[in-house]
Amino acid sequence: MKILVINAGSSSQKSCLYDLTDNHLSKHSIEPIWIADIDWTEAKHQGILTVKANGTITNDIINYDNYCQQISKILNTLIQGKTRVLKNFSEIDIVGHRIVYGGKDYSAATLITPDVKAAIASLIPLAPTHNSLNLQGIQAIEQILGKIPQVAVFDTAFHCHIPLKSAAYPIPYEWLEKGIRRYGFHGISHKYCAEKASQILNRPLTSLKLVTCHLGNGCSLAAIKNGISIDTTMGFTPLEGLMMGTRSGSIDPAILIHLIHKYDFTANQLNTMLNTKSGFQGISGISSDLRSIIQAVNEGNSRAQLAFDMYIHRLRLHLGAMLGSLGGLDTLVFTAGVGENSAIVREKTCEAFRFLGLKLDRKKNNNSPVNTDIATDDSTVRIIVIHTEEDLAIAQECWSIFNQKDLHL
C-alpha cells in the first residue's frame, strides 16, 4: 500500500512515500521509498529542494510563491527522472497530512471531508504559520491527484488528556467554556518519541516518566507519564513556552498591552512580531537558525551569545516545570533538528540537572548519536537522542483509517 505524507513545518517541508505492508504497522523504523525535503532557511523567498530515491540525491531551487505549484514540482519527481518510483500518480492509495491545530473537536486522526477542511480553516488565526499551509497542501493534492482519500493527523491530539488543572488558564472561567485552554503541539513527534524510548530502553511505556524535548525551529516539551501527555509547554497556540527560531515563547502579557497603549501596535503587528521577528531572529538580528547563531557566537558576536544564553536558560526553566508536573524523571529525550543535532544544546541543558543524578556522557553526546542512550552508566536518569519519524507515524495512521473505513479504490 502506497502512502504519501505531506508534513509542512515553520521552516521546512518534508514529503515521503511509504510502501507499507501488514508487517510494518507496529514498527518504529521504516524507510520511505522516496523523500523530498524543502529547507526554507537558506535564502529569502527560496528553498532548497532535496529529493532522495533509488539511491540518488537531487537538489533544486524552489520559489516560495504558489504553493500548489510547489507541491506539483515536488510530486513530479515521483514519476520523472532519476528519482522516479511510480509509473503514475494513480498508484498512490492515500495521502496523510500533519495538521498542527485541531482544537477541541479533533482528538484523533480523521478522514478529511469538507467539514474537516472548514474546521482547519477556522483555526488558521490560532496557528497562522501552519494551518494555512496545511490547508493549502490538502487543496493542492485535490487539484493534482483528484479524489484520493486524505487524512488529517493532528499535532494537538496527543495532548487531549492533559488534566484540566494544567490545561486551563487562570482567566475568567467563561473563556475556558469558549475553548480557550492549553492544547499543546508537536504531539505526533512527542508520542512517537515516547514509544521509541520505551523500545530503546526495553521497558514498558506505562512504567516511564519522560520529558520529551522537541527542539527545532519550533520548540516544545512534553511531560509524559504512563504513555499519556500530562503537561506541555505550548498552549492555546504554538507561540507559548520556549524561545524558538522566530517565536518569542512565553512573555509577560502586559508587554503587549504596553505596546498597544504606548506605540499604537495593532493585533497584526503584534502577531508578526511575536511569531516571525522574535526568538533567535529577534535577539541576534542574524538568523532564526541555531547553526548561524553558534557560528556568530564563535566569532565573538555578543547578541548571538545573548540569544544562545537566553535559549538555554528558558529551556532549563521549562524543563524544571515539566519535572514538577511529573513528580520525578527517569528518561529525558532530545529530538527534532536542534535536539538531534546540537551536542552543545544537549550538554548545556543537562548541566543544570546534575543535582538529580542526571549525567551526560560527553563522548557519546559528541559522537552524533541517533536513537541512543547518551547518559553515563551511573546516571539515575537516562538521556536519549531520538530521530523523530513523524512521517512514519502519519503513514501508520493512514494505514489504519484506510482499512477501517474500507477505502479501497
**CA gap 141, 149 in Å, rounded:** 10
> What is the bridge-based pairing of β-strands 94-99 and 209-215?
unpaired
Report the distance separating Cα 341 and Cα 203, nearest Å. Answer: 25
Residue 389 cell numbers, joined: 519519524
Q: Which helix (H) or strand (E) holds 231?
A: strand 228-232
**CA angle 312-313-317, nearest 5°?**
115
Cβ-Cβ contacts under 8 Å for 269 (sequence gap 6 or more): none
Q: How far apart, in Å, are the Cα atoms of 298 and each of 185, 302, 303, 305, 315?
A: 33, 10, 12, 9, 21
Q: Which of 19, 105, 115, 155 is catalytic?
A: 155
Q: How many CA atoms lie within 13 A of 372 on its CB side?
A: 14
**Strand 372-373 versus strand 382-385 pairing type:** antiparallel
Place of cell 482544537: 103
Are 374 and 361 contacting, i.e. CB atoms less than 8 angstroms apart?
Answer: yes
Number of H helices, E strands in the chain: 15, 14
Q: Are 192 and 199 in contact (CB under 8 A)?
A: no
What is the C-alpha separation between 68 and 52, in angstroms, rounded?
Answer: 21
Q: How far is CA 313 from CA 221, 236, 317, in A?
A: 14, 23, 6
60 is catalytic: no
Q: How many residues does the chain have?
A: 409
Closest CA to 267 of 256, 254, 255: 256
The bridge status of strand 56-63 relative to strand 94-99 is: unpaired
Catalytic residues: 155
